[in-house]
Amino acid sequence: TAYSRYCSHCHGRHHDGMGTVGQSFAPLPRDLRGRKVQAMTDGALFKEISYGIPGGRQPPLATTVESNDRWTIVAYVKSLGVRK
């Protein structure tokens, strides 16, 4: 999946920021099932994935990940829901 290919290395297979690369970061990458991410609009998530987060660790992926794959990632992340 697009998430596995582009996101899981940092955000992890449990979407908690504990991927093989992400767990070495301080602070950890965002928990994609956290309230903050899940409250974002689809457009806001797409923008962060595409252009990165200023001052953050999310790299801009607009030039390396096709637009359709970025929208697929957004839909996947939103489908996860808030961690209980």
Phi, psi values for residue 7, rounded to 5°: -120, -30
List the pLDDT tens digit at each of the 84 positions of the chain.
999 999 999 999 999 999 999 999 988 999 999 999 999 999 999 999 999 988 778 999 999 999 999 999 999 999 999 998
pTM of the model: 0.93
> What pLDDT score does 26 carry?
86
DSSP 53: -
Q: What is the dihedral of CA 57, 27, 12, 40, to 10 degrees?
A: -70
> What pLDDT score does 84 carry?
86
Whole-angstrom distance, CA of residue 57 vs CA of residue 77: 18
